[in-house]
């Protein structure tokens, strides 16, 4: 299939492009490089031997998007393109509402016009907020979002659901709710490349270990968890990328499947911040200087997935361990020097 991958030069997008090529599909990347680097395309080519097609532009620009759809025959879409910094979304919410929502609407309008059948959306476990039960199933209620970013994911899920249902099955869609993507491609050729100060824990850990950052701050150590630090579900980015391929192929081969659905993508294992730091130091034989700082407003205590629905319906299961992810992230960081 020809698959449009919006945000395909980003962290998760670039790894998914690699897996699409490995599975025999043809990815068509759209990216404006506001949150990514063109160097990822060189990495994709070195890993796969294939140079993916790229259209550089903004998904909120209807004229640009029209030009892409008129130039290409597109069978399915994986929509990653979005701004994702929680803190920034609170200081500039209109930027996030304009970008994240308008881009989805623009892509969906063109998908309908051009008869695209399959749509996979990049959602987030942030839609669950502070969960009532652990691990979190897809049936868990969505809570009022604690950030504008989180709210855009909830709104986008609703837009996608309503659009798919109104299509009466001509467009079928699945929203994948990611937990905490981490790691890098085992080759060390593509990985997470934050612009400025990292928003995610593992890039901050690797940058501190290599000396770019003086020290890491652990935000709070008196949470109601075994070691007092927050617990998250860290999934290797290659496992996450492969989940997108399984989702896309499920939509393509199950004509009678649900018109719209949501799936968790995680390991099902909760790991605390301190446990992750210990595992990183042990796996890579390197020290990470850190201090304990005050809690951050809005941080959730514990959040990890029940991935059984994904495992059962898509015959998908994570293959990489936390140690694999931390080793690959460190290999990627060292290669950036």
Q: Read off the tokens for 171.
A: 């467009």
- State the pLDDT confidence band at 291, using cuts at 50, 70 and 90: very high
CATH level 2 (architecture), domain 2-181+236-266+306-318: 3-Layer(aba) Sandwich (3.40)
The CA–CA distances, whole Å, from 98 to 31, 36, 123 equal 17, 19, 17
Q: Structure pTM?
A: 0.97
Residue 202 and residue 68: Cα distance in Å, rounded? 35
- Average pLDDT of the chain, as a whole number: 96
Average pLDDT over residues 139-143: 96
Domain ranges of the chain: 2-181+236-266+306-318
Q: Which tens digits make up the pLDDT trace of 56-106?
A: 999 999 999 999 999 999 999 999 999 998 889 999 999 999 999 999 999
Residue 15 and residue 183: Cα distance in Å, rounded? 11
Four-point Cα dihedral 160, 164, 170, 174, nearest 10: 60
Known catalytic membership, residue 128: no
Assess whether the previous peptide bond of 168 is cis (omega < 30° from 0): no
Q: Given this model, what pLDDT does residue 3 score?
A: 98
Do residues 55 and 32 touch, judged by C-beta distance below 8 A? no
Residue 177 and residue 184: Cα distance in Å, rounded? 19
Q: Tell me: pLDDT of 255 over 80.
A: no
Residue 31 and residue 10: Cα distance in Å, rounded? 8
Residue 244 and residue 57: Cα distance in Å, rounded? 23
Residue 126 and residue 178: Cα distance in Å, rounded? 9
177: nearest Cα among 136, 147, 148, 146: 136
Phi-psi region of 129 (alpha: psi -120 to 50; beta: other; left: phi over 0): left
Q: Which tens digits make up the pLDDT trace of 181-209?
A: 999 999 999 999 988 888 899 999 999 99
**Considering 55, 96, 149, 260, which one is annotated as catalytic?**
149
Q: Given this model, what pLDDT does residue 256 score?
A: 78
Residue 248 and residue 258: Cα distance in Å, rounded? 13
- State the pLDDT confidence band at 322, using cuts at 50, 70 and 90: very high
Q: Tell me: pLDDT of 337 over 80.
A: no
Decide: helix, strand or coil at residue 216. Answer: strand
Q: Which tens digits make up the pLDDT trace of 42-53?
A: 999 999 999 999
Average pLDDT over residues 322-331: 98
């Amino acid at each position: 299939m020809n698959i449009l991958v919006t945000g395909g030069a980003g962290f998760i997008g670039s790894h998914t492009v690699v897996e699409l090529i490995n599975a025999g599909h043809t990815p068509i990347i759209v990216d404006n490089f506001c949150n990514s680097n063109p160097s990822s395309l060189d990495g994709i080519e070195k890993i796969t031997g294939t140079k993916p097609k790229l259209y550089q532009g903004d998904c909120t620009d209807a004229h640009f998007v029209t030009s892409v759809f008129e130039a290409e025959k597109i069978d399915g879409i994986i929509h990653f393109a979005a701004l994702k910094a929680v803190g920034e979304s609170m200081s500039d919410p209109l930027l996030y509402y304009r970008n994240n929502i308008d881009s989805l609407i623009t892509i969906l309008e063109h998908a309908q016009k051009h008869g695209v059948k399959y749509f996979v959306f990049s959602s987030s476990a942030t839609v669950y907020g502070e969960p009532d039960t652990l691990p979190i199933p897809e049936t868990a209620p969505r809570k009022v979002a604690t950030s504008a970013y989180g709210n855009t994911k909830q709104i986008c899920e609703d837009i996608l659901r309503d659009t798919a249902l109104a299509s009466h099955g001509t467009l079928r869609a699945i929203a994948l709710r990611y937990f905490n993507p981490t790691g890098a491609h085992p080759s060390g050729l593509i990985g997470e490349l934050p612009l400025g100060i990292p928003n995610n824990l593992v890039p901050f850990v690797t940058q501190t270990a290599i000396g770019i950052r003086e020290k890491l701050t652990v935000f709070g150590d008196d949470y109601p968890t075994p070691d007092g630090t927050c617990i998250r579900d860290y999934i290797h980015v290659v496992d996450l990328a492969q989940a997108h391929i399984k989702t896309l192929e499920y939509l393509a081969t199950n004509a009678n499947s649900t018109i719209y659905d949501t799936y968790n993508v995680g390991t099902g294992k909760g790991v605390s911040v301190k446990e992750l730091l210990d595992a990183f130091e042990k796996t890579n034989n390197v020290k990470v200087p850190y201090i304990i700082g005050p809690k951050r407003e809005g941080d959730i205590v514990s959040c990890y997935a029940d991935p059984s629905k994904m495992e059962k319906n898509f015959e998908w299961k994570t293959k990489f361990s936390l140690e694999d992810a931390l080793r690959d992230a460190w290999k990627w960081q060292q290669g950036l020097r």
